[in-house]
Amino acid sequence: MAWQIEGRATSTLSKAPYKIVGILSSSLLPIQSLADLTPTFLIEVLKPIVPTIMMNIFVVAINQLSDIAIDKVNKPNLPLVSGDISIGEAIAIAVISTLTSLAMGVMLRSPPLVIALVLRCILGAAYSIDLPLLRWKASPLMAAVAIVIGNGINNVLPYFLHVQKYVLGRPVVFTKPLLFAVAFSAIFSIVLSFLKDIPDVEGDRKSGIRTLPVILGKERVLSMSTGILLMAYASAALAGVFSPILLCKLVTMIGHSVLGFILWSKAQTVDLSNAKSTYSFFIFIFQLYYTEFFLMHFVR
């Protein structure tokens, strides 16, 4: 995805609505009553959106700059590979977006947000840049670590802490919905880190990048990824059984059961020999991920 460390062919701006949903949903987790929803609160919640998107533009830019040879095979229509933009322009975009993001982050005077932006920048560079001890995308383990931290935990926790401590002025308390959101976000990030490489096996193999689909094969990676998410959905539905609030119980149980069934059905239709089909499934999982930003508010 455009704001995920791996960087996809779809533009960052076209994926911005999903990212905004994630930021807003995570920011609403500390809310205790409607009295918290003041105009000041809403303004403070909206402020992190632009620097976050700017930092993700850097992540995509540095990824495409580092993957020109691979993208010539896997994604020849990307703007850098196709010649729509030059290497110099791509470097300028990366530098300007990074400096703008960090400057805006510092202006917000919220340590969790600044740390989140810096961490996203470091992990994005470590994932893509081909230097000693870097180029983490070449290692399934390090790629998963970078994506789980950068796009799992980092998608929820900083915005929660920003609102709880620096907007609402309350002590830091790790609530059940927060822990659920972080756990589910991490699980989805792991799965996305596996699935994202299935359409790119040919280019990765030619470039010596040993991703999980290259090592284990597409079929095993698809089966493993689906199994992980189905177990996560089953656990979430089971957790709903113990909710003391009837509405939360029903939404958590039924919502996750339905999504689990849809996931299983969709997985049966994936044609691993067709790049369009596998990428479509990847996008579907990404959409399931952001559906959780709605359901997580019913975990009680």
Q: What is the pLDDT of residues 244-285, one digit of tens each?
A: 999 999 999 999 999 999 999 999 999 988 888 888 898 899
End-to-end Cα separation, the chain, in angstroms: 30
Distance CA 95, CA 99 (A): 6
Distance CA 52, CA 45 (A): 12
Q: Yes or no: say if 57 and 7 are a contact pair by the CB < 8 Å rule.
A: no
* pLDDT for res 145: 85
Q: How far apart are CA 221 and CA 76, in angstroms?
A: 25
What would the pLDDT profile of 96-137 be if each residue is shown by its tens digit?
999 999 999 999 989 999 999 999 999 999 988 888 888 888
Report which of 240, 277, 275, 272 is spatially closest to residue 255, judged by C-alpha positions: 240
Question: 282: closest CA among 184, 185, 190, 195?
Answer: 195
pTM, full prediction: 0.84
CA–CA separation, 39 and 230 (whole Å): 40
How big is the chain, counted in residues?
300
Q: In terms of Cα–Cα distance, which of 19, 44, 18, 20 is closest to 31?
A: 44
Cα–Cα distance measured from residue 23 to residue 160, given in angstroms and rounded to the nearest whole number: 9
Task: Determine the residue type at 114.
Answer: V
pLDDT band at 142 (very low <50, low <70, confident <90, very high): confident
* Residue 111, C-beta contacts closer than 8 angstroms, at least 6 positions apart: 166
